[in-house]
Chains A and B, each alone.
Chain A
């Protein structure tokens, strides 16, 4: 008997010795981020850097957006939509607690939504809440949201970082000390240096594999390369040095993952201003642009050509739109002649600071010179861009629209590029009335075709998401349908 116990004990010891390395598998991660967030409250700022830390990790909304841009349940475990598409009844998870220990219930939902849509709200995406007429607490686990008119993308909107759930007691302090319901809670922030989040052991859902995550702020591209190679950071979900990608691809210690973002990079044209109010002129310009040359020349070959204003990783993307105005210099010249501009056009091309605009702009200027369009390049700072082109004072400009699912901006004739397409607006109105996913995808495809056909802007390419991380890390997102570093599914393999 004694020897039996000893054998068991010995076997157990051996077993522990064997499994010990596995038990000790790394459960912390250090990720590099280029920009430091101004603060950590996603409901009070547009900076993507905020969501890159807190989205899905610290804060959760009623719904959340998954890695392909799909809508997933989050704090609301299910919902019903009324026949007329105006009433959404959300059933909340019970037993959910905020990081400060207070309970999450329907009152917090009402508070969060009402706060975001209030008169004095500084929510950067206040438009997401525009359709809401009333939020009603039915019982602690049920909330009824009534819309003034149907908004088919309402569930998607509620998945944005700007629509996360906060508590009345802690909302004011969220900028410095974010209190959410997520699987991680905020631990520390040394300004200019690093932000740390740790596992929330009281999390209501599936616990995360990581016990701690550190985001280190490394703005310099060469510093980013060195930090990865020296092992100071385990990865960069958005790696800032595209020129170093081949070196990391050749190094077996790293995974290089090139996906796409929600950043549709466009050559915007002022549809209200001559000669760009002429479809033939816009079509000529669209046909004169060689997207591949721009991606290779300005983006180190990273980026996906697009034919419309829609993210190519999304299931509803219409890939055929790329052939609406294929690269054809002769056709472009012919179109320009038909429009009555055989003697050429002179215009200004205003360029904000990012490389895609500055380098891309030079390539575009030389491509358009080939069909007789003479562009004067005007480089500006973001502040000037917001005061000029964004207020409608421009001929042409290059900018990346990084908000997810933002094709709706084409329905607003007051938006800076000034597109007033009745057919498009009708499709958008219909889309707002539609809640069925398949029907919505069909309408989205129609919308994409219309703006491609009308050559509203030249759709250049989707900004790439270039991730470089330790080959042993699993579960980081390949694409970024929302600007986030969702760590909920991240783990290390042995």
Chain B
């Protein structure tokens, strides 16, 4: 287990280091002067030059790269060009929206998908199974922004149960915050739940066809006991993989839903920063998202090893 862990840790660190180089280089070759972009087309050249100096753009790229990496290691993410506040502060605020949103969506999707997938697998071929599979097909096919707009029209515009969007901030209380996140979470969770229940069903169906299941049944174990004790555990590996990928997507890829509900999340922060050429923010948010994906993969790997002891042994 220790060797397995160490190997994963090395590849984790190398991937992160490579990511810093790729991100920095990409932003370096993007054309355009951030200072000119901020001051607009009527600004005089000396005002632009003064701003360039303030922003530290007159320092050579290599020095800026090392300053960035060493800053990150000490927890200093630099200052945003546009907002002129520390980037860490901006990211922190946004995480308080994006993280709960991702977690609620994942919880919703898991709570729906696992029972549905298990029910479908255990009644394979029945009318219920066919019905469930057809509706998940629909769930996968519906674009989530369209579903989001539909939700807004029904629950915000027509029924007026919840606001059409926006986020009041957690300081206004738990309930207003949760109310603001409920529609976006549902919109995000639907396609994820559809995918996850299909994966659960097919993994379970496959597991139920294995020899050890027949053995267990022959031993005299009931259908129910076999399903829960033997088949499910073995079917969990692909399910956990998909959940890991989904969580990374929910954290980083929610920009469209954030726009539909105008939520101040990470996705919108990075989008806005790109359009405004706010390099410190782009650099650090992208880095954070990359790091999150790598960490989640790392955790998923560890989870595999916990679910399936054979994996630990093979790697060792």
Contacts and interface: CB of A to CB of B under 8 A. Distances in A.
Interface of A: 36, 38-39, 45-47, 119-127, 175-176, 190-194, 216-220, 222-223, 226-227, 229-232, 381-384, 386-387, 390, 403, 406
Interface in B1-44: 30-33, 36-44
B130 to A, nearest CB: 35
B39 A223 contact: no
A226 B152 contact: yes
B107 interface: no
Given A222-B149, A383-B32, A45 B39 contact: yes
Contacts of B260: 220, 222-223
Interface residues of B, number: 51
3 shortest interchain CB distances as A-B pairs:
A383-B32, A192-B264, A46-B40
Of the listed residues A46, A122, A222, A403, the one surrounded by the most CB atoms of chain B closer than 10 A to its CB is A122
Interface of B: 30-33, 36-44, 46-47, 50-51, 54, 81-85, 90, 93-94, 149, 152-153, 156-157, 160, 163-167, 169, 259-265, 268-269, 272, 276-278
A220 B39 contact: no
18 contacts: A38-B82, A38-B276, A45-B38, A126-B46, A127-B44, A192-B265, A193-B167, A193-B263, A227-B262, A230-B163, A231-B160, A232-B165, A232-B166, A382-B37, A384-B31, A384-B32, A386-B36, A390-B41
A226 B157 contact: yes
Contacts of B50: 119-122
Contact of A191 (B40, B42, B47, B83): B83
A370 B157 CA distance: 47
Contacts of A39: 82-84
Nearest to B51: A122
A190 B164 contact: no
Contact of A227 (B82, B164, B169, B276): B164
Interface of B is mostly: loop
Contact of B47 (A123, A194, A223, A387): A123
B166 A194 contact: yes
Contact of A122 (B54, B149, B156): B54
A260 B166 CA distance: 29
Contacts of B39: 45-46, 122, 124
A382 B40 CA distance: 10
Nearest to B275: A382
B166 A127 contact: no
A193 B264 contact: yes
Contact of B261 (A46, A223, A387): A223
A226 B42 contact: no
A44 to B, nearest CB: 9
A386 B42 contact: no
Nearest to A218: B262
Contacts of A382: 32, 37
Contact of B41 (A47, A123, A386): A386
